[in-house]
Amino acid sequence: MNWQICIRYPNGFEKAICTYRNREVALKWVDAIYSQGYPMHVAYVVRPVETVDAAAGDASMGCFQFA
């Protein structure tokens, strides 16, 4: 299963910023963000990816930046 790190804004809008194959890696990435201090008006959440996109076949997965 693939996991996305999303940034959640106060109005409820969420934007995916990274995709990982391993949930624990995604959670550690969020922990690293929060170790620098908690942002005032956003939250970072880890969600399972529901749809299979073109990047799902990539072995590395890593972090993808979305515009």
Task: Give residue 58's pLDDT.
Answer: 47
Task: Give residue 38's pLDDT.
Answer: 84
Report helix, strand or coil for 7: strand
- Residue 67, in any domain of the structure: no
Point out which residues pair with 5 in neighbouring strands. 18, 46
Tell me which residues of the chain have a pLDDT lower than 70.
Answer: 51-67
- Residue 19, in any domain of the structure: yes
Kindly report the number of other CB atoms within 10 A of residue 58's CB atom: 12
Give me the number of domains the chain comprises.
1
23: containing domain: 3-57
Task: Give residue 61's pLDDT.
Answer: 55
